[in-house]
Structure 1
Amino acid sequence: MTSTVPTRRPRKDAAANRAGILRAAATTLATDPSASIDQIARAAGLSRRALYGHFDDRQSLLAELISSGAQRFNAIASALDEPSPPLALARLTAALWAEAAHVQVAAALALDEAHVEQTGAALAPLRRTVAAIVRAGQEDASLRTDIAAPTLGRLIEEAARLAITRFDASSPAAASLAVRTVLSVAGLSWRESEALLAAHPALLDTAENTASPSATESEAE
């Protein structure tokens, strides 16, 4: 008779330590993107050895941050329910921006040049949402039709990626700029973008009122 050993759930303190490491990593990397494992461990209030009890190396820690950022982006995409393709793009971009302001380090890691291929599969649900919006927009001619749908989808992804990773999340105007950039790539004129945002003033409220963690801490100081 084969005996089985029940799988033990991680202890609560171990789970809390892991979560604390991820928070410390995000905070530390926001200040110094090249921060070492030692720096992250100190920020988490743990020894280097204790950190290695949760993550094999720095790369595995970064992979976890990337995964959490991708999951949050995918959740936003799956919750999108907007029949108008231009408005759907605007809502998606604004929502991603608001989320990126909370997890901008993880977002930047997930979307930067060094990791973009690595996270392609992790961001598949988000990419499918963008592709569906593009197809619908080209079918009703609300988005540009001079570029093939797969190419246009990638261009929109690139515009959103650059906005999320390069624009200053603490700037009140950044969310609007991010949305306008994506809409411009999708084929809307600046007047059409202005009219869309004017017709839906609440669209940017959450994104514009969300500051990055580093900005919030600076204001508190």
Structure 2
Amino acid sequence: MTTPQPPRRRDAAENRAGILIAAVAVLADDPHASVEEIARAAGLSRRAFYGHFDDREAVVRAVLGAGAERFNAIAQAVSDDDPRRALAQLARGLWDEAQHVHVAVAIALDERHGPLTAQALAPVRARLAEICERGYAQRVLRRDVPPEVTARLVEEAARGVITHVDPEISRTHRLPERAVLAAAGLGWHEIDELIGER
């Protein structure tokens, strides 16, 4: 029989949350920021940092995990019956969230963290696959390739917009929606009508 552990002290939980918030802000300015810089931004010592995280990589992984939870929640909230509108909603929701943690997203998509990110974002991928399968069955998304290929094309289009396109251009021209819908086989005029632009 295991002995119940005493509840974690409130200040310890607050310190850990403060480290995560500081890590997002510091990494946004410098993706290579050190443990010292993250701890300083959280108002803590290196020793306090290491009381919560084994190393810099551990805090980066925690930041990525928290971001993945938010992305997964966005994907689950997409409910439009029209797969085209569902894709547009998914793209807009993920883009809006990514803008708050843009550098963390870039880190999540780099080669080193790719496998971790893929695992953490499995619910987003599952939702995307389901939308593409419905769109294929309803003949409203591309049918020249299988739906799993369409889902991959959409994912790569979204990755390109998130990591390489100026946020103001994306917002003004609604590039997240346009990129994923074009990858899913829609023409520009159809996209204009779907997202309410002429």
Shorter-chain TM band: over 0.9
Q: Which of 14, 18, 25 lines up with 1:27 in the alignment? A: 25
Question: Equivalents in 2 of 1:66, 1:157: separation in Å?
Answer: 18
Distance 1:6 1:79, change over 3 A: same
Provide the TM-score with structure 1 as the length reference. Answer: 0.84
Deviations 1:177-208 (A, max 9, x none): 11101111110111111111117x9xxxxxxx
Question: Equivalents in 1 of 2:20, 2:147: separation in Å?
Answer: 37
Give the conservation status (yes or no) of the 8 Å contact 1:168–1:174: no
Provide the residue aligned with 1:84 in structure 2.
82
Give the conservation status (yes or no) of the 8 Å contact 2:28–2:101: no
Provide the residue aligned with 1:190 in structure 2.
188
Provide the TM-score with structure 2 as the length reference. Answer: 0.93
Runs of 4 or more off by more than 6 Å in structure 1? none
% identical equivalent positions: 49
Question: Equivalents in 1 of 2:52, 2:172: separation in Å?
Answer: 36
- 1:38 matched to 2:36? The reply is yes
Taking only aligned residues, the RMSD between alpha carbons, in angstroms, comes to 1.8
- 1:73 matched to 2:71? The reply is yes
**Which range is displaced more, 12-21 or 98-107?**
98-107
Give the conservation status (yes or no) of the 8 Å contact 2:95–2:162: yes
Deviations 1:102-134 (A, max 9, x none): 222332322333322222121111111000010
Question: Equivalents in 1 of 2:134, 2:115: separation in Å?
Answer: 26
Other structure's SS at 2:186 match: coil
Q: Which of 6, 15, 18 lines up with 1:17 in the alignment? A: 15
Which letter does structure 2 place at the counterpart of 1:197?
I
Question: Equivalents in 1 of 2:71, 2:153: separation in Å?
Answer: 18
How many aligned positions are there?
Answer: 198
Which letter does structure 2 place at the counterpart of 1:104?
H
